[in-house]
Amino acid sequence: MLQTVGGVEMALPAWKEHGKSVETENGYVDKQDARGNRAAVFWDMDPRPGPISSDEARVALGNAEEIGAQQIAGHPARIFRTMRGSAAVWRCDKTARILRVISQGSIDASDLAAHVRCHAVAATGNGEVPTAASTVLGAGWTFGNRSKGSISWMRDDAVLTYFAGSTLPGPRDADAARVAAPAWVAAAGLSDAVLTGAASTIGPQGHPAVLVHGAGTLQGRAVRWSLIFWRCLQRQKTFAAIVFSQTAPEDSALLSARCHG
């Protein structure tokens, strides 16, 4: 049955809906039947550039084995075998979203994904981006710009960017954060990311977090950056924020993010 939800066009079986969210930034349609068959499509804001990597796809799916590749709506996708079925994962650069097709039972995820159009309708939302607590951020910061899935602030040569929250899990330790960091550094407009350290810490509003430090370039100029990942327990979403400058970036600026309340 052809339907469009949250700007995503799909053709799922006419089974009972076990969940649905029509949000363009973080939404899903999940259908199941009485025999244990399942067909679901999930999407989240994701401003990271380029096709999805194998590591990113595994984070999105959890325990899964990659078994192939497929073009979906013009995007390179990765196909996985899961514990109960199969899945397809890809990133849509036109809407800055990551999409997952999950299948269990009689229908293969590759077949379901072939009928998904992730940019059938223009996605105009910016996602659930944290706000800034001015008392924590400090004086001198001014609004920079708003992009799909992010908002930036500037002060002198420093840039602070908050990324939109995702229902997907984020890095839980330093090793995972090191793997995830380069793609988010690229989403902030930097290149040539070099990691210099990572450690667990206390993040915005007291949430458990992982902080990563590194260096890179911005239009040929050397910069240093600090990137933080945290899980908002109240909203059950993963957030990321980065600050960079030509001198030492202020890690304290990352703690100004307000993801709930």
- Cα–Cα distance measured from residue 189 to residue 191, given in angstroms and rounded to the nearest whole number: 7
Quick one: average pLDDT of 167-192? 96
Quick one: average pLDDT of 154-162? 96
Containing H/E element for 92?
strand 85-92
pLDDT exceeds cutoff 70 at 98? yes
| Assigned fold of 131-258 | Protein Transport Mog1p; Chain A (3.40.1000)
Distance of CA 214 to the CA centre of its chain: 20
Please indicate whether residue 146 or residue 248 has the higher confidence score (pLDDT): 146
Beta bridge partners of 223: 216
pLDDT exceeds cutoff 90 at 41? yes
φ/ψ (deg, to 5) at 39: -140, 125
Residue 50 near residue 86, CB atoms below 8 Å = no
Report pLDDT for 57. Answer: 93
pLDDT exceeds cutoff 90 at 112? yes
pLDDT exceeds cutoff 90 at 120? no
Quick one: average pLDDT of 198-206? 97
pLDDT band at 124 (very low <50, low <70, confident <90, very high): low
Nearest one of 113, 118, 84 to 101, comparing CA atoms: 113
Report pLDDT for 96. Answer: 93
pTM: 0.93
pLDDT band at 123 (very low <50, low <70, confident <90, very high): low
Contacts of residue 225, defined as CB under 8 A and 6 or more positions apart, other chains included, come to 185, 188, 190, 193, 213, 214, 215, 216, 242, 243, 244, 249
Tens of pLDDT, residue by residue over 44-74, are 999 999 999 999 998 899 889 999 999 999 9
Average pLDDT, the chain: 94
pLDDT band at 254 (very low <50, low <70, confident <90, very high): very high
Query: Which amino acid does the sequence have at 102?
Result: I
Nearest one of 150, 145, 103 to 127, comparing CA atoms: 150
pLDDT band at 140 (very low <50, low <70, confident <90, very high): very high
Query: Which amino acid does the sequence have at 37?
Result: N
Residue ranges covered by each domain of the chain = 2-113, 131-258
pLDDT band at 191 (very low <50, low <70, confident <90, very high): very high
Residue 64 near residue 81, CB atoms below 8 Å = yes
pLDDT exceeds cutoff 90 at 121? no
pLDDT exceeds cutoff 80 at 255? yes
Report CA-CA distances (Å) from 218 to 73, 105, 159, 179, 194: 32, 48, 11, 21, 13
Nearest one of 60, 26, 49, 45 to 185, comparing CA atoms: 49
Q: What does the H/E/C string look like for 146-206?
A: EECCEEEEEECCEEEEEECCECCCCCCCHHHHHHHHHHHHHHCCCEEEEEEEEEEEECHHH
What percent of the chain has a predicted confidence (pLDDT) above 70?
Answer: 99
